[in-house]
Amino acid sequence: MNFKDTILYLSKAVVFGLVMAAVFLFVNSITNNNSFNNGLTTTQHHNELSFASAVRRAAPAVVNIYSLSLDQNSPLNSSSLQGLGSGVIMSKEGYILTNYHVIKKADEIVIALQDGRKFTSEVVGSDQITDLAVLKIEIDGDNVPIVPINLNNPAQVGDVVLAIGNPYNLGQTITQGIISATGRNGLSSGYLDFLQTDAAINAGNSGGALIDTGGELIGINTAAFQIGAEGGGHGINFAIPIKLAHSIMGKLITNGRVIRGALGISGEPLSPVMAQILNLPDLKGVLVTGVDPNGPASKATLRPRDVIIQYEEESVPGVEMLMDRIAETTPGNQVNITIIREGKPLELPVVIGEKLPTDS
């Protein structure tokens, strides 16, 4: 090999080495970038799955509720604290929202905050139908943890939710699930008013907060589904929607009770058979099945087999909507109800009465 060939050979080797080094550096750069990006994605993904910030926003406002029960059998009338459930601080004035069944048998109610402070409380008002009660503690308004609320952000099926409470008096606990079903907001009663969730709600969780992943209150935990004498554990739990709970709270603070309107009727959805018998064009409306002889409906000459199709010029699609509208009407107010009687429309003025515990 002469000198020229040697130089050519070495030149090729050097060029090849430089090319391979460039390829190695390029591949290594891509690998490092991917690793870095994957690291960011993993971190971001971890943050998305963590609800710690939501819990930090809401949990301090969720309190433990105890009963200071007096022992009547003791000669010294000794007392002891008994865990009852949970509650949620709703305002800087110290108003606390909880379930009626949590406090109904309490002799004296003690509120324990998560920071260790304890207060005795008074019952502002309660409502057995919606199972809600409002308590009040005397507390410095500048040092009160208040739960975040957004009344214009209704819960939707599939939303991830967290239940905060004091199950079995073990201390504050967080459980997680989704909204399985939603109902309606109104002042009548029944399970259709509730949010259904599979977030665990055990004894002691009642009255606690159901929050979304932003830490905003969307419901008051109320009950677990039971069959017979069984406990919960079916993954079917109920919470009162915050829009309804907030409305009831305002009424309890103002009046100490919830004043509901009553019409004095019982009704059922209009079936295709009854629509045909009554010669009605569609299935909208509520078929009156019974009339209280001493109620407002009787005084307004409503009869069984009348079909209510409008309440104050608002179409009536079903029983639940009608009962809600009646309940929301202030007793003593006159409203116009449109009915179908013997195939003909008829408008009746009715003075709404007040719903008593035995009213239907």
> Quick check: is 206 catalytic?
yes
Handedness of CA 177, 182, 186, 189 (dihedral sign): negative
Q: Give the integer Cα–Cα distance in Å for 189 and 68.
A: 31
Tell me the β-bridge partners of 135.
96, 123
Which of 171, 83, 84, 91 is closest to 136 using CA atoms?
A: 91
Alpha carbon of 229 to those of 150, 226, 232, 345: distances in Å?
Answer: 37, 7, 10, 49
Q: Give the integer Cα–Cα distance in Å for 357 and 103.
A: 19
Q: Which of 127, 131, 193, 306 is catalytic?
A: 131
| Cα angle: 131, vertex 136, 138; to 5 degrees | 165
* Integer Rg of the chain from CA: 32
Q: Which of 127, 206, 212, 306 is catalytic?
A: 206
Residue 169 burial (10 A CB sphere; 0-12, 13-18, 19+):
middle
CB 225 within 8 A of CB 237: yes
Q: Give the integer Cα–Cα distance in Å for 343 and 281.
A: 9
Q: Give the integer Cα–Cα distance in Å for 302 and 179.
A: 40
> Quick check: is 131 catalytic?
yes
Alpha carbon of 319 to those of 28, 199, 294, 307, 329: distances in Å?
Answer: 69, 30, 21, 11, 16
Give backbone dihedrals phi and psi of 113, rounded to 5 degrees, phi first. Answer: -85, 165
> Quick check: is 234 catalytic?
no
Q: Give the integer Cα–Cα distance in Å for 348 and 356.
A: 23
CB 114 within 8 A of CB 58: no
Q: Which of 86, 101, 127, 247 is catalytic?
A: 101
| Cα angle: 327, vertex 329, 334; to 5 degrees | 130
Residues labelled catalytic: 101, 131, 206
